[in-house]
Amino acid sequence: MGEGGAWTLTEADGDTITVAADGSWTKTERDGDTVSVQPDGSWTKTEHDGDSVTVKPDGSYNQVEHDGKADKPDTPDVPAKPNAEAANPVSPVQPTKKLG
């Protein structure tokens, strides 16, 4: 574990989660999909096929879907802490209103 409770964990499926002391976190999946959550709960998910969604702290979001579907994005799951001393991961903001 790093300074201030920062931590990195590789899951059994090969996905890697890194949580900073401020609670911001990144998950990188084996297939190249990534999720980054900032300390204010805003987040970005980028899929290996180029689709992406960015959610602002107020819940408004921009979404790029190459197949034309634009369903409301799913909020990423908060990773489980590996132990009590580990920093608490920030909960991502729920998307509420599509921009554009």
Q: Indicate the SS3 state at residue 37.
A: strand
pLDDT at residue 65, rounded to an integer: 79
Count of structural domains within the chain: 1
pLDDT at residue 55, rounded to an integer: 97
Is residue 100 scored above 70 in pLDDT? no
> What's the whole-model pTM score?
0.89
Q: Tokens 């909020």 — which residue?
A: 75
Q: Tokens 């999946």 — which residue?
A: 29
Alpha carbons 64 and 28: distance in angstroms, whole number = 19
Is residue 13 scored above 90 in pLDDT? yes
Q: What is the mean pLDDT of residues 25-48?
A: 97
Burial label for 51, CB within 10 Å (0-12, 13-18, 19+), is: middle
Q: What is the pLDDT of residues 39-80, one digit of tens each?
A: 999 999 999 988 999 999 999 999 887 776 767 888 999 999
Q: Domain span at residue 62? A: 3-98
